[in-house]
Amino acid sequence: MALKNVISISGGKDSTAMLLLALERDAPEMVVVFADTGHEHPETYRYIDYLERATGVAIRRVMPDFSRDFERKRSYIAEHWPEDIRQRAIEALVPTGIPFLDLAMLKGRFPSTKAKFCTEHLKVLPIQQQVDMPLLAAGHDVVSWQGVRRDESPARSRLGEWEELDLGVMAYRPILDWDVERVFAMHRKHGIEPNPLYSQGMSRVGCMPCIHARKQELREIASRFPEEIERVAEWERIVSRAAKRGVATFWAARGEADVSLMRHGIHSAVEWSRTTRGGRQFDLIAATSDGNTECSSVYGLCE
Ligand code: SF4
């Protein structure tokens, strides 16, 4: 059976450059995949459509289906949770079809820098289950192309160009030693526009916002895209109704026992991001880079 080259793209500059490299090399049997978290900026969805048209390559969108998990969770709550909160949570636990929101409802919390379950459940597993495993089951060898670069972070600087992953999939990281200039040069060479979010002040493209957003990134997002903040504020209300303790903030409030959406929700985080105060009132929205601001998954699926 033929080898399949699975090219994972995020809508960001690095994975786009990698896709262009794969096309340049005429990589055989390409399967181009975009794992949709449901928490991307609308520009990114438009950009994926644009990439498909501009390159002429079909891009497969994958997302998890949590409907069975919702059934299981409702049954569990009905049997095990205290009576006074049971009804509220069961009524709230209705899948929306938005993967990031549904996952947060199921967990009763948002992912965080300490509980980084988002990449695994929203990107790694859907690609493994919906793309890699069927290809392996059909007898193919699978090479997973990953657009990560060493100069992005200390964790990524230690990655190898080739690595055997779970299930026997081989990771291939062909732009590991590229710098950012080379990445954008690759776009120019092929006449492909970068995601417009870069020219709108974003330093990276991914969930809007990512749990790893820095203080200044959050400030920028809030001033340019207030509708994204409002969307997350609404998600905080929805997830709170499904959470056992009745409150779930997008960023965990540090060292606070009495948490509320009013004082610790995303609007408060935005207010803090506009101050010159340092410290970390919210979970790792650091004022400066500390080398831990991206997903550390070996799949490198988040920019
Ligand atoms: S690490 Fe950030 S970009 Fe990746 S899935 Fe989580 S929130 Fe989204």
The CATH number for 142's domain is 3.40.50.620
The pLDDT value given to residue 258:
86
Judge whether 223 lies within some domain.
no
Question: Exposure pattern of 153-179 as b/e (b: 16+ CB <10 Å)?
Answer: bebbeebeeeeebeeebebbbbbbebe
The pLDDT value given to residue 276:
82
Judge whether 149 lies within some domain.
yes
Judge whether 235 lies within some domain.
no
What are the CA-CA distances from residue 129 to residues 64, 65, 132, 294, 302 (Å)?
Answer: 9, 11, 6, 23, 18
Judge whether 138 lies within some domain.
yes
| Alpha carbons 293 and 206: distance in angstroms, whole number | 12
What contacts 154, CB < 8 A, 6 or more positions away? 291
Judge whether 237 lies within some domain.
no
- Expressed in angstroms and rounded, the spacing between residue 211 Cα and the centre of ligand 1 is 6
Judge whether 37 lies within some domain.
yes
**Counts of helices then strands in the chain (DSSP H, E):** 14, 6
- The residue written with tokens 């606070």 in the block is 256
Residue 34 predicted with pLDDT over 50 = yes
Question: How many structural domains are present in the chain?
Answer: 1
CB of 237 within 8 A of CB of 105? no
- Expressed in angstroms and rounded, the spacing between residue 102 Cα and the centre of ligand 1 is 14
Tell me the best of 210, 266, 299, 301 to mutate to test the pocket of ligand 1, counting ligand atoms within 8 Å of each CB and taking the most. Answer: 210
When pLDDT is averaged across residues 74-88 and rounded to a whole number, the result is 96
| Host domain of residue 49 | 3-64+116-200
What tens digit of pLDDT does each residue of 200-246 get? 888 888 999 999 898 889 999 999 999 999 999 999 999 999 999 99
- Expressed in angstroms and rounded, the spacing between residue 212 Cα and the centre of ligand 1 is 7
Residues with CB under 6 A from ligand 1: 37, 111, 118-119, 122-123, 206-207, 210-212, 295, 302
When pLDDT is averaged across residues 96-119 and rounded to a whole number, the result is 96
The pLDDT value given to residue 75:
97
Judge whether 155 lies within some domain.
yes
Residue 285 structure tokens: 């929205």
| Alpha carbons 44 and 37: distance in angstroms, whole number | 11
From first CA to last CA, the distance across the chain in angstroms is 32
CA-nearest residue, atom 7 of ligand 1: 210
What tens digit of pLDDT does each residue of 147-194 get? 999 998 898 999 999 999 988 999 999 999 999 999 999 999 999 999
When pLDDT is averaged across residues 130-140 and rounded to a whole number, the result is 97
When pLDDT is averaged across residues 52-78 and rounded to a whole number, the result is 97
CA-nearest residue, atom 4 of ligand 1: 302
Band of residue 288 on the pLDDT scale cut at 50, 70, 90 = very low
The pLDDT value given to residue 290:
41
Residue 199 predicted with pLDDT over 80 = yes
Judge whether 110 lies within some domain.
no
CB of 56 within 8 A of CB of 68? no
Preceding amide of 209 cis, omega within 30: yes
- Expressed in angstroms and rounded, the spacing between residue 10 Cα and the centre of ligand 1 is 11
Percent of all residues in the chain with a pLDDT value above 70, rounded to a whole number:
92
Residue 284 predicted with pLDDT over 60 = no
- Which atom of ligand 1 approaches the CA of 303 most closely? 3
The pLDDT value given to residue 256:
74
Band of residue 292 on the pLDDT scale cut at 50, 70, 90 = very low
| Alpha carbons 215 and 241: distance in angstroms, whole number | 27
The pLDDT value given to residue 183:
97
- Which atom of ligand 1 approaches the CA of 295 most closely? 1
* H runs (alpha helix) in the chain: 13-24, 42-55, 67-80, 83-92, 99-107, 117-119, 125-127, 133-137, 154-157, 180-189, 215-224, 226-242, 261-264, 266-273
